[in-house]
Amino acid sequence: MVLFKRNFFEEGTQVRINRSYVEDQEGSRPDFFAFLHTTDDLGETTTYFFPSEDIIRAWSVTKCGGYFYFSLTKDREFSEHRNRSQIKIAEAIINGLARTKEHQTRFMLRSFFDLYVDTRNLSPEPHRITYMLRIVEGCKVVLYQDVTLDTFPRPLEPRRDLFSYSGDFSWGYSGTGPIFLAMSILGHYFGGTRHPTIEQQRTLVATISRIPEDQPFDISSEDIDALLEYPNTPNTTFESTCEKSLAGTSTSRQGSQLMPALHIHRRVQRG
């Protein structure tokens, strides 16, 4: 919180705050507050309190665009922010600090997606990618294949910089393993050029959690594009594929169990 003590009733007096203190890429910073303390022309104590979202909404922006500024005028008295009770100020601070951890997590995740580049291609047009979820000797592994160039499958890099987790990739349940896999896929798929929204992250995590946990499975770039374009909307094609995998015959299961440990299906049958 920043504290100012000045005579704001003098003509032209301003308070300026760098915009980076008040907001970042995720919006208003919930842990920033401005508390202004002054006296009016009669010598009476007056205070003004602004959480970051109110600074963005109520203060003006300098011509250079780098600062928010506060200035009292005949038309702008900020009466709703004047002499707020200690209880309301305390509640606003407590609520803001409670939201800080989630906000910082989103900001850090966005920063990692911006800075850590694990590109899937360098061409203007994204290549088609297939993420191949496999079980080898009882261990779940994930490969990716550039379908456009028809390259050999390569192991997907575990992105522990994006999601702190000491375990392995997993799918088929709601837990840490599927979250780790989703973050690693998104880190590779976006390649540092874009970053997913929270809703897109949650949608992919929920999708991976529904994949049959004891079977190999493919996720195509078309699947991912559809999921990310319409987050929180059921993907009927993907759901149909999951259902068909769950309803697989015992013969097909035996066949997958008997395949050599290092043999990878070129493509899992899709609906």
Annotate 43-84 with DSSP letters as a single string: S-EEEEEEEHHHHHHHSEE-TTSSEEEE---SS---GGGBT-
The helix (run of H) or strand (run of E) holding residue 107 is helix 86-115
In a domain, 121, yes or no: no
Q: Are residues 215 and 181 in the same domain?
A: yes
Tally of structural domains, the chain:
2
pLDDT attached to residue 13: 75
Q: Are residues 30 and 137 in the same domain?
A: no
Cβ–Cβ under 8 Å, residues 23 and 29: yes
Q: Are residues 163 and 88 in the same domain?
A: no
In a domain, 119, yes or no: no
Q: Are residues 221 and 254 in the same domain?
A: yes
Q: Are residues 67 and 24 in the same domain?
A: yes
In a domain, 28, yes or no: yes
Quick one: tokens of 207?
Answer: 């999708």
The CA distances from residue 237 to 13, 14, 127, 246, in Å, are 62, 58, 21, 14
Between CA 23 and CA 161, with CA 111 as vertex, the angle to 5 degrees is: 145
In a domain, 118, yes or no: no
Q: Which residues pair with 3 in a beta bridge?
A: 35
pLDDT attached to residue 11: 57
Q: Are residues 91 and 139 in the same domain?
A: no
pLDDT attached to residue 10: 57
Would you give per-residue pLDDT tens digits along the chain (271 residues)?
555 555 555 556 788 899 888 987 767 888 888 888 887 667 778 888 999 999 999 999 998 989 998 888 777 788 888 888 888 888 888 888 777 776 666 666 565 555 444 445 445 566 788 999 999 888 899 999 888 887 888 899 888 888 888 889 999 999 999 999 999 998 888 876 677 888 888 889 999 999 988 889 999 988 888 888 876 665 555 555 555 554 543 333 333 332 222 223 333 333 3
In a domain, 268, yes or no: no
Q: Are residues 82 and 140 in the same domain?
A: no
Model-level pTM greater than 0.75? no
pLDDT attached to residue 95: 83
Please say which residue of 105, 120, 151 terminates a domain: 105
b/e map 102-133, b = 16+ CB within 10 Å: ebeebeebbebbeeeebebeeeeeeebbbbbb
Domain span at residue 77 reads: 2-105
Nearest partner of 71 among 16, 120, 131, judged by Cα: 16
